[in-house]
Homo-oligomer: A and B are copies of this chain.
């Protein structure tokens, strides 16, 4: 166990003053290139890294970003946040930040968590997920002057903070257009209850695409709390009705999976996943067609989020660019940290893309 390497160790070893070492790290331009390289070599050799604790005492910066890890929820859609968290950790690391986790059962508990975390670890900022109408968190942080970004639009809340989001409407619109170009005309929408910002957003994409195509969306939509069984029940209702939709755009993979279960159940059409199918006889394969309208008896289904389940089941779905979202979050947050609160906060809206598989 090599006793701790401090800036002094480096200074002695390199035969320079402590200050010079500090300058090599924090203000390289002040140091003669020759010296700089020498010191840098010693730093590398010793594996020296400035102690964050000490650094924070002077500078007030912890290079820590607080992020809430959410309970698994549905578990299917919750996965989106887990993937986001992974991307965020990587993006943060590239900017020399670390992610500190906390949990909270609700918004109030989360605000309490901010206080605890800020007082003890003083993270430089937070990344908030799952914003929603009436969300008290941004206002609180704004009040305290704590830097933060949200993954999710303000949805009616104050928009004087940076945010990054994915254009859900563009996603469902793309899904709808995909179905339209496959020949579908009666395209239903299976979404969540109105009010949650994301719910309306995803519905709007379907709605506008239908209208743009000159189609009447009346009676073609249902709304229900998220969940596989709920999706299955709703899909049953929609597809068993007279003059049913021939395709369903869903607000989540959970709903879509339920719908798809129902479709498989009633049509008896089972589609093996692509890889498995390719190992069967060519004749067998050729007898199946892959997409939409040509197979009138099997309604098409499109999900949202490209969760692992979707891939496993062969569900066509809308994928969010989570890596880009994470990078943008870090970029906006570091900008807020550096630039202070001078300029007006930046907003980033990214476009998702459709992943076409078996179900549509």
Contacts and interface: CB of A to CB of B under 8 A. Distances in A.
A30 interface: no
Q: Taking the full assembly, how many copies of this chain does it contain?
A: 2
Contact of A272 (B100, B144, B265, B273): B265
Contact of A119 (B5, B86, B90, B119): B5
Contact of A98 (B71, B78, B102, B312): B102
Given A57-B53, A86-B103, A75 B119 contact: no
B75 A89 contact: no
Interface in A14-66: 47-54, 56-57, 62, 64
Name, among A1, A53, A75, the residue most crowded by chain B CB atoms within 10 Å (CB to CB): A53
Contacts of A265: 270, 272
A258 B276 contact: yes
Interface stretch (A125-133, A160-168, A205-213, A303-311): A303-311
A121 B119 CA distance: 17
A270 to B, nearest CB: 4
Nearest to A144: B1
Q: How large is the interface on A (under 10, 10 to 19, 20 to 34, 35 or more residues)?
A: 35 or more
A295 interface: no
B47 A115 contact: yes
A123 to B, nearest CB: 10
Nearest to A73: B308
A254 B312 contact: yes
A101 interface: yes
A236 interface: yes
A257 interface: yes
A122 B82 CA distance: 25
Nearest to A90: B103
Interface stretch (A184-192, A225-233, A348-356): A225-233
A236 B275 CA distance: 13
A261 interface: yes
Contact of A308 (B5, B79, B100): B79
Contacts of A117: 98
Contacts of A8: none
B276 A272 contact: no
A196 interface: no
A259 to B, nearest CB: 11
A310 to B, nearest CB: 10
Interface string A237-263: 000000000000000001001100110
Contacts of A214: none
Given A52-B120, A93-B103, A261-B270, 7 more contacts: A50-B120, A75-B311, A76-B309, A79-B308, A100-B101, A232-B273, A261-B273
Closest 9 CB pairs of A and B: A75-B308, A49-B119, A229-B275, A265-B270, A232-B276, A53-B56, A82-B82, A99-B101, A228-B312
9 contacts: A51-B119, A64-B100, A86-B103, A93-B102, A98-B121, A228-B311, A229-B273, A261-B270, A309-B312
